[in-house]
C-alpha cells in the first residue's frame, strides 16, 4: 500500500500539474482542479497515516477508494477537454483497491471507476456541449474502461499471489 502511495500519488499529481501548466486551462478550471487535488491528497494522507488508529481500517481504505473516484471525477471533468491522458487518473483508485481487496471487490471498484469515467465523458458531450459522441470516441472510451478493469484485475491477481507465497513459508 505504501509503495502505491510513493509511485502513483506523484504520478497523479504530475499528470494534473502538466495538464494545468501545458494545456492553458481556464483559470476557474485550474483553481478547482488544484483545490480538489489538494483536498484529495490531504484526506488520503491523513487517513492512510492514521489508518490503524481506526476501528476498521479495511473499511476506511474501501471508503477512501470511492472518495478518490468521486474527486477524480471532478478533476477529470475540468481537465479532460484539455489533456487527453487525464483518463489515467481513474486507474489509480482501482489499482489501489486491487492491492488489498478480494477479486469481487476489485472488479466492483474497477467497474465503478470505469463507469464514472464514461459518465463524465457522456456528461460533457451530451449535457454540457450538447453534442453526440462519435462511434470512434465511444470505442476509445470503452477501450479505456476495459484497460482500467483489466489492469486492476491483473494487479489484484499479483497481490493475491504474493500473499499466498508469503503465507506458505
Q: What is the pLDDT of residues 67-126, one digit of tens each?
A: 999 999 999 999 998 899 999 999 999 998 998 899 999 999 999 999 999 999 999 888
Q: How many domains does the chain have?
A: 1
Place of cell 468521486: 70
Rounded to whole angstroms, what are the CA distances from 139 to 25, 65, 110, 145, 146?
26, 26, 18, 10, 10
What does pTM read for this prediction?
0.88
Boundaries of domain holding 103? 2-167
Residues 82, 61: Cα–Cα separation, whole Å: 31
Amino acid at each position: 500500500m505504501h509503495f502505491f502511495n510513493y509511485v502513483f500519488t506523484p504520478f497523479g499529481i504530475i499528470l494534473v500539474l502538466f495538464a494545468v501548466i501545458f494545456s492553458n486551462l481556464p483559470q476557474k478550471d485550474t483553481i478547482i482542479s488544484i483545490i480538489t487535488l489538494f483536498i484529495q491528497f490531504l484526506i488520503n494522507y491523513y487517513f492512510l497515516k492514521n489508518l490503524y488508529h481506526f476501528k476498521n481500517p479495511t473499511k476506511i481504505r474501501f471508503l477512501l477508494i470511492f472518495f478518490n473516484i468521486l474527486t477524480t471525477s471532478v478533476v477529470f471533468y475540468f481537465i479532460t477537454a484539455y489533456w487527453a491522458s487525464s483518463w489515467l487518473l481513474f486507474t489509480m483508485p482501482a489499482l489501489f483497491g486491487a492491492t488489498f481487496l478480494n477479486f469481487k471487490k476489485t472488479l466492483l471498484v474497477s467497474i465503478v471507476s470505469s463507469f464514472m469515467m464514461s459518465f463524465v465523458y457522456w456528461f460533457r458531450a451530451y449535457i454540457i456541449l450538447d453534442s453526440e459522441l462519435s462511434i470512434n470516441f465511444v470505442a476509445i472510451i470503452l477501450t479505456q474502461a476495459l484497460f482500467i478493469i483489466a489492469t486492476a484485475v491483473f494487479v489484484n491477481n499479483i497481490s493475491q499471489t504474493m500473499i499466498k507465497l508469503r503465507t506458505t513459508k
